[in-house]
Amino acid sequence: MATAHWSVPLQCHEQAAVCHSLTIRCPQPPSSSELRRRLEQVGELAEGVLWERRTRERSTAPEAQQYAEQEARRPLRATSGPRLRITLVRHTDDVADLVLVAARDALPRAALGDLAGFLTGGSLPRAGRHGTARETSGAGAAPLAGPEWGLGDLARRGLVGSARFSTTVRENPVDRKLLISAIAIVLARYDAEETPRIALLDPDAAGPDALSKYVLKYDETMSVAAFLAGGPETPEPAGEPATELGGGLAIPVGMVFGEWDDARQYYPCLAPVFPLTLQAEQRPDRSWSGTCWYDEGAIDPRIAHAFVEQVAYVAQWLADLGESGEELPLSATPLMPAERAADIVRRGATPPIAVTSAAGSTVHGRFEDLVRRHPDAVCVTDGTRTLTYRQLDEQAELMAEGLRSSGAVPGSMVGVCLERDATLVVTLLAILKSGCAYVPMDVTYPHERLRYTVGSAGVRVVVAAADVFPVVEGVRCVAPEELLRLGERSVSRGRTTPCDENDPAYIIYTSGSTGRPKGVVVPHRNVLALVEGTAEDFGLGADDVWTMFHSSAFDFSVWEIWGCLLTGGQLVVVPFWITRDTGEFHALLAERRVTVLNQTPSAFLPLVAQDRESPAELAVRLVIFGGEPLDARELLPWFARHPQAECRLVNMFGITETTVHVTAQTVTPQAALQGSRSVGPALPGWSVSVRGPRGEVLPVGAAGEIWVGGAGVARHYQGQPELTARRFVIDPVTGERIYRSGDKGRMRPDGSLEHLGRIDSQVKIRGYRIEPDEIRNVLLGAPSVSGATVVVHHDESGDRAADRLDAYVVLKRGTTVAMVAEHARQLLPDYMVPATVTELDAIPLTINGKVDVAQLPAPTAARPAATESPDPVETGSADRLERDMLDIWSRHLRTQVGPEDNFFALGGNSLLVVRVLAEVKELGAPKITVRDFYRNSFARQFIQLVRERITLASDAPATTGGARS
């Protein structure tokens, strides 16, 4: 379907939108004097109204037709000039095109047609059909913004495109009402959250009467017959302008109806009055031929073409349905033919990269291939010990023997609960070598969560340091050192445990809405596919130095560890406290010459600020973002110091259930300036598509649920067959197994994906995936709690470091919010513990019985009970140091802080700790580490610590006097 283009300068957009034109082919054109004489008869002749042009082509030549069209699309110069322009375009074969351009309010369509007929030899127009004294109302001003699903390119504003559509003649023809109903159905699929609104532009009316609107009641559960019966009968007055130049968009689609005339070409507007302006003309046989006009700054051409195709398809389907489908629900209305839906799904899939058969089919098998090729290359370092590929492999072999001796049966699950160091990496590899799957758990998790995890996964052996893991009946806890000793004594060392690519490699537990985390079972083949699908594009190899920054219980670590070790790189394991101290982490990146860095956006932004202040030069060439949505605009300061040619930034969308990453988008400075939300196309071997509530394929641009298929789809949820059946389904389009992510997104015309957050209540805070309902269920499990809800507070400034979880509880007598907060800390990891707990008499509900978030009061910090406070410390309540420190804490926590308050009980987090310490340092205090802060998290403890450090450094000059007592 060809698209006609013409350009309308932005300053002329409004004027062009209120003009229309009519072109008539004249086989025997009138002379110029005859035209003037006829114009005098109707009183239209004025200076600058009549023009004559000659082409060098015959009338049948495409160039001659294009010239006439250009004249027809050229708006009047200004509202203060003539309200009519007539151009006679003469061709070399004595055929001419008469082109009339007028302001609609000055000369409506009927009057324009009468005038054109008279000028070409017809009868004199009837009086009262037109006039030149009216002023244009401006109601047709074209907006510069379009609906979100339009995905227009602002750089192409003013470039007008057209898309043709048509219906055919069937037993039941399409009428106007059916065409409008079809538009409403299509609009509802593009934006399910908006009531379909369609404007009607009447070129035969003037002023406000020219514009009216339809607001259609739409519910997909109602029948098609009921919808059509209650559909548009009489349009309502438009009231407020349907569009506002340069402002917010009120109505995305406008209709102009007319009758088809083979001898005339009518343009109802010379710039789109609405983002999509549909001109529909009915032929004598009752079929429709139409054109959609759109501005490419508001609507992508591919979306415009698809939209009108879908309108024509739905209209024809409704007409053909007749009375046979009266009871069909609106949800059954197909938006497009099945083959078109399949084509959209195919465009969202990326073919896998071919891998040589010599490569190992398991994670540890692939690692062993690298050991044979590069045995002495540095493999892992943690700052205290360094292992080559051969040494790591040998230690893992010994530990695997120890695991077998400890009762780890091939195919079983082995728990891991270790600090981040080289031993952790050895342990994970050893578990795989033993034919088992690893179940990582963070050492900071509450004991109750650890007990639940091993019980859910069926773990019988846990590798953990002494006195770290709680006692669990039937579970043996063994230290890494003990496993190595058992392996050295084994007589069967070196044996191979049967294992293939379909066996589980690991189970990672994520937040679950039931109040308990859910385990995602991922096989070896998925991890290998992830590495194979990215290694070539990212240029991963033996020269790279990676960091393992994240907890092994967070699936980002799967990418960090195996992305590095299966491509021959060197892995730098970052100790926990360095991950919490931006300054120390930046120094480590510089010292170790790290080239590949993986970060959540929340963790990367403080690093950007640190990089601006530090003289140390980084060697980072690749930064991978994941874990949470990225605001690309925040990367501009990084580009200022690290040009794109030297350091590539890649935004990746992924889910634990689809093996860490799904898509990849290189972020350019231009994309950062535009605030691009694209997360890119699917990785090789993966597929993405956007679906409606019933799994129907949504068109490009429409927002819906992201479905992920291909190489990354996990096996199942451990021990939860019903949940597995709901989320891991067979795609009705492809017949393949696919994962319903619960994430909201839209496909772009280029095949890339925009990630728009969650459909359900799940949230991401500082990269952690959190189900508020899990926290709510934990709170309801506390003694004497009869009601609870959890909401996410996003700071108005957009500062992600200030995002927090606020809990509201209804308590029985004798219970305090401090007791509830302590109950939550015993069951939930730190990142899921609510920052505030507020007591209510009752949870406010909407009329539908849902929590009325708007009625919740401002949260109250859950201050610790007196018994939780440490031993008294003198704070010096009247001195300047205390005032300075409390002021810093209060500003960053956005609440008034007293000496007895705890930083984390008031909503503090690791990102805010870094900011507080940076400001304390600016006041002249000696350096205080993040670890020091965590150990002194009560305000009076921290003030005392600062005082002691200043005393120790009293012989050194202070940069400012602010921090001096």
835-852 pLDDT, tens digit per residue, is 888 888 777 765 444 567
More confident position, 16 or 231: 16
More confident position, 571 or 122: 571
Instruction: Give mean pLDDT, residues 877-898.
Output: 83
Instruction: Give mean pLDDT, residues 585-595.
Output: 96
The predicted structure's pLDDT at residue 96: 95
- Between CA 292 and CA 369 the distance in angstroms is 59
| Phi-psi sector, 458: left (phi>0), alpha (psi -120 to 50), beta | left
The predicted structure's pLDDT at residue 170: 79
In a domain, 1, yes or no: no
The predicted structure's pLDDT at residue 311: 96
Lowest mean pLDDT segment, chosen from 101-115, 128-142, 541-555? 128-142
The predicted structure's pLDDT at residue 217: 82
The predicted structure's pLDDT at residue 253: 93
| DSSP for residue 271 | S
In a domain, 140, yes or no: no
618 shares a domain with 470: yes
876 shares a domain with 839: no
Q: How many CA atoms lie within 13 A of 115 on its CB side?
A: 32
The predicted structure's pLDDT at residue 314: 95
- pTM assigned to the model: 0.81
The predicted structure's pLDDT at residue 248: 35
- Between CA 407 and CA 441 the distance in angstroms is 20
Per-residue pLDDT at 22 exceeds 90? yes
More confident position, 764 or 115: 115
Residue 151 corresponds to which amino acid? L
For 693, the domain range is 685-759
Per-residue pLDDT at 243 exceeds 80? no
827 shares a domain with 732: no
Per-residue pLDDT at 492 exceeds 70? no
Q: In CATH, what number is assigned to the domain containing residue 652?
A: 3.40.50.12780
Q: In CATH, what number is assigned to the domain containing residue 705?
A: 2.30.38.10
Burial (Cβ within 10 Å: 0-12, 13-18, ≥19) of residue 536: exposed
878 shares a domain with 855: no
| Residues 809 and 788: beta-carbon distance below 8 Å | yes
155 shares a domain with 221: yes
690 shares a domain with 668: no
Q: In CATH, what number is assigned to the domain containing residue 248?
A: 3.30.559.30
The predicted structure's pLDDT at residue 776: 78
More confident position, 563 or 325: 563
912-927 pLDDT, tens digit per residue, is 888 888 888 888 888 8
192-214 pLDDT, tens digit per residue, is 878 888 999 999 887 777 888 88
The predicted structure's pLDDT at residue 837: 87
795 shares a domain with 698: no
Q: In CATH, what number is assigned to the domain containing residue 74?
A: 3.30.559.10
657 shares a domain with 553: yes
The predicted structure's pLDDT at residue 865: 37
More confident position, 493 or 950: 950
Lowest mean pLDDT segment, chosen from 170-184, 546-560, 726-740? 170-184
Tokens of 369: 């291939």
pLDDT band at 786 (very low <50, low <70, confident <90, very high): confident
pLDDT band at 219 (very low <50, low <70, confident <90, very high): confident
Backbone phi, psi, residue 772, to 5°: -55, -30
Lowest mean pLDDT segment, chosen from 230-244, 727-741, 836-850, 931-945? 230-244
Instruction: Give mean pLDDT, residues 745-765.
Output: 83
Instruction: Give mean pLDDT, residues 877-899.
Output: 83
The predicted structure's pLDDT at residue 847: 44
Lowest mean pLDDT segment, chosen from 378-387, 590-599, 660-669, 787-796? 787-796
Number of domains in the chain: 6
- Where does 94-246 show beta strands of DSSP type E? 96-103, 159-166, 197-201, 211-215, 236-237
511-545 pLDDT, tens digit per residue, is 765 568 899 999 999 999 999 999 999 999 999 99
777 shares a domain with 739: no
In a domain, 447, yes or no: yes
In a domain, 764, yes or no: no
The predicted structure's pLDDT at residue 628: 78
More confident position, 289 or 791: 289
In a domain, 963, yes or no: no
The predicted structure's pLDDT at residue 151: 92
Among residues 679, 705, 730, which one ends one of the domains? Answer: 679
More confident position, 6 or 547: 547
- Between CA 572 and CA 547 the distance in angstroms is 5
Instruction: Give mean pLDDT, residues 86-106.
Output: 93
The predicted structure's pLDDT at residue 796: 58
> Other CB atoms closer than 10 Å to residue 411's CB: what's the count?
13
- Between CA 651 and CA 782 the distance in angstroms is 40
In a domain, 336, yes or no: no
Among residues 701, 733, 759, which one ends one of the domains? Answer: 759
| Residues 72 and 265: beta-carbon distance below 8 Å | yes
> Other CB atoms closer than 10 Å to residue 876's CB: what's the count?
14
823-833 pLDDT, tens digit per residue, is 888 888 877 88
In a domain, 766, yes or no: no
944 shares a domain with 904: yes
Q: What is the mean pLDDT of the chain?
A: 85
In a domain, 468, yes or no: yes
Instruction: Give mean pLDDT, residues 59-84.
Output: 86
More confident position, 119 or 45: 119
Among residues 807, 832, 862, which one ends one of the domains? Answer: 862
Per-residue pLDDT at 174 exceeds 50? yes
The predicted structure's pLDDT at residue 947: 87
Contacts of 77 (CB under 8 A, 6+ apart): 15
372 shares a domain with 273: no
| Residues 139 and 241: beta-carbon distance below 8 Å | yes
pLDDT band at 128 (very low <50, low <70, confident <90, very high): very low
Counting residues of the chain whose pLDDT is more than 70, the rounded percentage is 86
Per-residue pLDDT at 90 exceeds 60? yes
298 shares a domain with 411: no
